[in-house]
Amino acid sequence: MSLNTQDVEKVARLARLAMDEKAVETARHQLSDIFGLIAEMQAVNTDGVEPMSHSQDLAQRLREDVVTDTNQRELFQAIAPQVEGGLYLVPQVIE
């Protein structure tokens, strides 16, 4: 897919980007190259290829999910500026 100058100017306007003619032309070439690469990748036959979550087939060593820290809620809330009902009170920032 090849973009024209008007497409890039429209995207720049929507993104609130101030671009001169040279920047528009540079962006047009770069975006056209990106869209070309995407088109090449979409043309590849991926039938029978299993999706992967990572490029390397590695296994993570897992540990047992056990709580190791003690409850220090009272200690932390003792130094808080305002606490009520076990909750931290903070100034309202949205009306």
* 52 inside domain: no
pLDDT in tens, 29-71: 999 999 999 999 999 999 998 888 888 888 888 989 998 999 9
Residue among 76, 95, 94 at smallest CA distance from 86: 76
Q: What is the pLDDT of residue 95?
A: 78
The enclosing domain of 23 has a CATH number of: 1.10.20
Residue 29: domain span: 5-43
> Is pLDDT at 17 greater than 70 in this prediction?
yes
Write phi, then psi, for 88 (nearest 5 degrees): -80, 135
d(C-alpha 34, C-alpha 32), whole Å: 5
Q: How many domains does the chain have?
A: 1
What whole-number percentage of the chain has pLDDT above 90?
69
Q: What is the pLDDT of residue 71?
A: 92
- Decide: pTM greater than 0.75: no
Q: Are strands 87-88 and 83-84 parallel, antiparallel or unpaired?
A: antiparallel
> Is pLDDT at 1 greater than 70 in this prediction?
no
Q: What is the pLDDT of residue 54?
A: 81
Mean per-residue pLDDT over the chain, rounded: 91
* 19 inside domain: yes
